[in-house]
Amino acid sequence: MKKIFLAAVFTIGFSISNAQIIADNRWSDLFSYNNVLSIREDDGKLIAATENGIFYYNISTGEISKLSKANGLHEVKISAFDYNPQTDVGLVGYQNGSLDVITPDGVFLIVDIPIATGFTGNKKINHVSINGNTAVISVAYGVSIFDLENREFGDSAFFTTGGTFVAANESVIRDNKVYTATSLGILTHEMDVTFPVYSTWTNIFAGNFTQIANGNVLAFSNATTVRYGDGATFAALPNLSNIRDLTVDDSNILVATQALVNIYNLSGGAPIQSQSIAGNIINTGIYRNSQIFAGTRTLGIVNQAGNSIKPDGPYNNKSYKIDLFQNQIVISTGVRTAYNDPVNSGLGYYHFNGTQWIYPDFFLTNPPPLNILDAVINPSNPSEIFFTNYVFNLANKGIYKMNNDVFVKKYLSNVGSAVTDRIVGLTFDENNQLFASGTFLGDSPYKLGYFYYNASSDDFIRNEVIIANGAQKPFASNGFLYIPAPFFGDGGMLIYNYKNTPANTSDDQFMIIRQANNLPVNGTISAVLDKNNNLWIGTRTGLRVLSNPESAIEEENPQTEPIIIEENGLGEELFRDNEIFQIAVDSGNQKWVSVNGGGVFYLDSSGEQTLQHFTKANSPLPNDSVTDIKIDENNGKIYFATLDGVVVYQGDVVSASENFGDVLVYPNPVVYANYKGNVRIRGLAAKTNIRITDAAGNLVHSAVTTGGFYEWNLNNFRGVRVASGIYFVLMTNEDGTDTATAKIAVVN
C-alpha cells in the first residue's frame, strides 16, 4: 500500500519571553489547559505547564498565549517542566521518557535519555531542574545530567539496591552537587567521575521523600513534613498534610498542599501568607509581587482574587466522539473495552456554545456513574443536547437530555429489558428525527436495533430488528438508518429503511450485511455514505465498499468489494487486516480514514491514492488511534478526536455551490527554493473549468474539477515544470454563469 508520510512542518522561531510562535498554521488544538502541573516566571509573565501544553500569562496585560504539539512541541502528556529566565531555555519532560528543549532558536526533541536504553519499565520523566546551562533529569531508575547549551547528556546514575531500582522522584543541583529525593532518603553526589557509581552516593537524610527544591536554602518534603537547611542541618515546618509541591526562591519557601498554598520566609515559623481554593485540588503554586498564584487541577492558575487564568478549552483532554452544529462543538468522553464493557471515567461532555467552553454543573455536583459514549446537538433546537450513558447500572444508564447544559430528563432506564439494554450512539436525520443505536441483551439471542425519539410524547420508542450483538454509532440518510455491529461472528452492517416514517414500522425493510456479502466475519465498527451513494464500511480487519445500499436492500445477495491498489506491481487490498476506527467524507468526496494504531489516511475519492498520512510522529496528532473524525464543510476544518485530546486540521476542501466563493491560491508566490509541492486553489464552484495561461496568453494547463478545490503541480501539457513568471488562472462554473480569475507567481 502506498503511504505518503509528511514531514512535520514546524518553522519555530520564538522566545519564551514573549511567547511568539511561528508554526504550521494549518493545525490548532482543542486541548484542556486546566490541570496546571508547574509554574515558572519570566519578567512579569507566568509560564504554566499543563498535561498537553504550556501557556503564558502576562500579569500586567492579562494576555494569554499557548504552545502545544499543534504549534511547536513534539509530544503530549507532560510530566515535568522547568525554565531558566537568564538563558531563555525551558525543558519539558514527557510520560514516554522524551524531552523537549525550548530555546529562542526553536524546540528540539530529545528522544530518550541514555539510561533508558534497554529499560522496559516506566520511562516517565518524574522531574527536571535547571541550574544555569545544566539540568538534572529524574526518572524511575536514576538521574541523568543534561547540557542544555549543547543539548547533550553527561553522566547518568542508576539507583539500584538489591537488584531493585530506586526511583528518583525529584532532583536539584546545588554547589556542583546533585541532591535527589527518593524513598530511601535524600541522596547526594558531587558531579565528578564517580557520579555514575551508585555505591558512592551519600544518604544525608533517611526517609521517604517526594519533593526537593533549591534556592537560598535546600528544602525537601514528604506528604506531611517540609525540612529546610544548608545541606548539612535541617529544620522542619510544622502542621502540614497532603503536600503536593515545594519551591524555594531567594526569600521564601512555597508549600502547595492539596487545599492550600502557604508562603514561609526562610526562618520558618508560621506562614506569612496563604491561599485556599474551595472545591478544587491544588497541584503547585508560585509567589510573585506579594501575590500567590495557585496551579490547580481543573481551574488553571487561580490568583488571590479567585480569578481562573487559562486558555479557554475543554474541561479535560479525554475525548471520544465529536458533534458539530453551526458554531457549536460537543465532545463525549466514554470508552468501552472490547466494544462491550464501559470504562467509567466520571467525565461528562465538553460543550463549546459558540462563545466559550462549558462543562455542565450536572457533571460536577454529585454526578451519576458516567461513561458518555455519544452526545449530539439537536439541529431543530440547538440549546438541547442528548447524550448516551453507557453504564451497567440500571438507575443511571440510558439517554439524557440537557437544555442550555442543564439536566432535563433521563430516558429508557425502565423500558422493556432495560436492565441489559445497551444504548450506544445517537444521530439526527435530515428531518431532525433522533435515533439511538442499541443492543437488547435481555432477549435470547441478542438483538440489534434502535430507539426512535417521539418528540410529541417526549419519549423513545424501542425497535428490536435482527439477531446481532453489539452496536456502534448510527447514521441516517434519505430515510435509511445504518448501524454497524462490532462483535465477532454475529456482527455486521444493518441497513434499515424506515421510509421517513420512523413511528410506523409496518412497511419498513431491512437487511444486514455479513460474511455471505463478502464482509469480514470479525465485526463492523464504522461506516459512511459517500457523495456517490457508496457505503464505505470499516471492519476490524479491513475496508469494504457497497454500491448503492438503498438498492442493495432489495437484492437477494448484494456483495461488498475491497479496494485494490497497486503496490510494487502487485494488487493489494487497501487496509487489509487493519481495524478501521472511523471514516469521514469531505465535500469533494475524498475520504479520511483512521486506522487503529496507524493514524489517519487522506484518500482520493476512489481510495486508490493516498494524498496524506498523518501520524503521531509527523503531525500534532496526540496518538495514532483516532476515535472520531468530523468535517466542517463550511470552512474545511477536520476535527480529530483521540483519548489524549482533540486537534484540528485546516483542510482545503469546503462545501461548494454552483458559484464561486472566496477564491484563494496558495502558496503564492511559489518559490522553488522554499516550496516544492503543488499550488492549491480553493473556493471554487462545485464544478469548475480551469484554464491556466502564461503572460502572453498561451495555454499551459487546463482541467475540470469538482468539490470546490484543485491542485496544480506546476507542469505544462508536456509534463514539464513551467518557467518562472506570472500565470493567469481563468475559471468558469459548469454553466458559464459565474467566473473567477487569479494570478500565480512562479520563481524557479
What are 466-488's pLDDT values in tens digits?
A: 999 899 999 999 999 999 999 98
Residue 267 CB contacts under 8 Å (≥ 6 apart), including other chains: none
381 forms bridges with which residues in the sheet?
Answer: none
Q: What angle do CA 147, 148, 149 make, to 5 degrees?
A: 95
Give pLDDT, residue 114: 74
Q: Return the higher-pLDDT residue of 536 and 663.
A: 536
Fold match between domain 73-209 and domain 664-747: no
Give pLDDT, residue 22: 35
Reduced to 3 states (helix: H, G, I; strand: E, B; else coil), residue 550 is helix
Rg of the Cα trace of the chain?
Answer: 29
Asked if residues 91 and 83 have their Cβ atoms less than 8 Å apart, the reply is yes
Cis peptide preceding 445, ω within 30 of 0: yes
Q: Return the higher-pLDDT residue of 406 and 345.
A: 406
Sign for the CA dihedral angle at 27, 33, 39, 43 comes to positive
DSSP symbol at 563: P
Give pLDDT, residue 103: 95
712 has a pLDDT exceeding 50: yes
18 has a pLDDT exceeding 50: no
Give pLDDT, residue 563: 95
Q: Dihedral angle at the C-alpha atoms of 423, 427, 433, 435, nearest 10 degrees?
A: -20
282 has a pLDDT exceeding 50: yes
Using CA atoms, how far apart are residues 736 and 718, in angstroms rounded to an integer?
28
Using CA atoms, how far apart are residues 536 and 542, in angstroms rounded to an integer?
11
Which of 386, 322, 312 is closest to 629 using CA atoms?
322
Which of 289, 290, 295 is closest to 261 using CA atoms?
295
| Longest CA span, the chain | 88
Asked if residues 300 and 287 have their Cβ atoms less than 8 Å apart, the reply is no
Mean pLDDT over residues 406-415, rounded? 81
Mean pLDDT of the chain: 91
Query: Residue 736, class by beta-carbon neighbours within 10 Å (0-12 exposed, 13-18 middle, 19+ buried)?
Result: exposed
Give pLDDT, residue 654: 72
Residue whose C-alpha cell is 511567547: 19
Q: Which helix (H) or strand (E) holds 549?
A: helix 549-552
Other CB atoms within 10 A of residue 140 CB = 19
Give pLDDT, residue 117: 67
Give pLDDT, residue 412: 77
Residue 529 CB contacts under 8 Å (≥ 6 apart), including other chains: 475, 477, 482, 535, 536, 549, 585
Reduced to 3 states (helix: H, G, I; strand: E, B; else coil), residue 701 is strand
Which of 704, 748, 698 is closest to 728 using CA atoms?
698
Give pLDDT, residue 9: 26
Q: Dihedral angle at the C-alpha atoms of 351, 352, 358, 362, nearest 10 degrees?
A: -20
610 forms bridges with which residues in the sheet?
Answer: 603
**pLDDT tens digits, residue range 98-146?**
999 999 999 999 987 776 666 778 899 999 999 999 999 999 999 999 9
CATH 2.40.10.360 fits 220-310, yes or no: yes
C-alpha distances in Å from residue 15, one per residue of 105, 441, 703: 8, 58, 45
HEC profile of 345-373 = CCCCCEEECCCCEECCHHHCCCCCCCCEE
Architecture, CATH, for domain 73-209: 7 Propeller (2.130)
Q: How confident is the model at residue 354 (pLDDT cuts 50, 70, 90)?
A: very high
C-alpha distances in Å from residue 513, one per residue of 170, 352, 477, 481: 57, 37, 17, 13
**pLDDT tens digits, residue range 555-584?**
989 999 999 998 777 889 999 999 999 999
Asked if residues 256 and 37 have their Cβ atoms less than 8 Å apart, the reply is no
Using CA atoms, how far apart are residues 430 and 477, in angstroms rounded to an integer?
7
75 has a pLDDT exceeding 60: yes
Comparing 291-295, 420-424, 441-445, 731-735, the range with the smallest average pLDDT is 441-445
Q: How confident is the model at residue 394 (pLDDT cuts 50, 70, 90)?
A: confident
Using CA atoms, how far apart are residues 561 and 249, in angstroms rounded to an integer?
67
321 has a pLDDT exceeding 80: yes
418 has a pLDDT exceeding 60: no
Strand order through the sheet with 524-529: 524-529, 534-539, 542-547
Mean pLDDT over residues 35-43, rounded? 97
Using CA atoms, how far apart are residues 8 and 616, in angstroms rounded to an integer?
10
Residue whose C-alpha cell is 431491512: 510
Give pLDDT, residue 50: 98
Using CA atoms, how far apart are residues 527 and 491, in angstroms rounded to an integer?
13
Using CA atoms, how far apart are residues 186 and 188, in angstroms rounded to an integer?
7
Cis peptide preceding 669, ω within 30 of 0: yes
Give pLDDT, residue 6: 23
Using CA atoms, how far apart are residues 329 and 349, in angstroms rounded to an integer?
10
Mean pLDDT over residues 670-674, rounded? 89
62: left (phi over 0), alpha (psi -120 to 50) or beta: left
Report the number of secondary-structure helices (H) and strands (E) in the chain.
Answer: 1, 69
Which grid coordinates belong to 151?
543539548
- Mean pLDDT is highest, among 235-239, 389-393, 593-597, for 593-597
Q: Which helix (H) or strand (E) holds 551?
A: helix 549-552
**pLDDT tens digits, residue range 323-345?**
999 999 999 999 999 999 999 98
Using CA atoms, how far apart are residues 55 and 725, in angstroms rounded to an integer?
44
- Locate the domains of the chain by residue range: 1-31+566-655, 73-209, 220-310, 323-565, 664-747
Q: How confident is the model at residue 442 (pLDDT cuts 50, 70, 90)?
A: low
647 has a pLDDT exceeding 90: yes
Q: Return the higher-pLDDT residue of 464 and 18.
A: 464
State the pTM of this model: 0.88
Which grid coordinates belong to 662?
472566496
Enumerate long-range contacts of 513-519, CB under 8 Å, 24 or more apart.
513/537, 513/546, 513/558, 513/560, 516/557, 517/546, 517/557, 517/558, 517/559, 517/560, 518/544, 518/559, 518/560, 518/561, 519/492, 519/493, 519/544, 519/560
Reduced to 3 states (helix: H, G, I; strand: E, B; else coil), residue 515 is helix
Residue range 323-565 forms a domain whose CATH class is: mainly beta
Using CA atoms, how far apart are residues 437 and 493, in angstroms rounded to an integer?
12
60 has a pLDDT exceeding 70: yes
Using CA atoms, how far apart are residues 134 and 138, in angstroms rounded to an integer?
13
C-alpha distances in Å from residue 116, one per residue of 96, 100, 187: 11, 16, 20
CATH of 664-747, one of 3.10.20.30, 3.40.50.720, 3.30.70.100, 2.60.40.1930: 2.60.40.1930
Cis peptide preceding 369, ω within 30 of 0: no
205 has a pLDDT exceeding 60: yes
Using CA atoms, how far apart are residues 258 and 36, in angstroms rounded to an integer?
13
Per cent of the chain over pLDDT 70 is: 95
Comparing 214-228, 272-286, 366-380, 430-444, the range with the smallest average pLDDT is 430-444
Residue 338 phi, psi dihedral angles, 5° rounding: 55, 30
C-alpha distances in Å from residue 216, one per residue of 40, 186, 220, 252: 17, 18, 13, 9
Asked if residues 649 and 615 have their Cβ atoms less than 8 Å apart, the reply is no
Residue 696 CB contacts under 8 Å (≥ 6 apart), including other chains: none
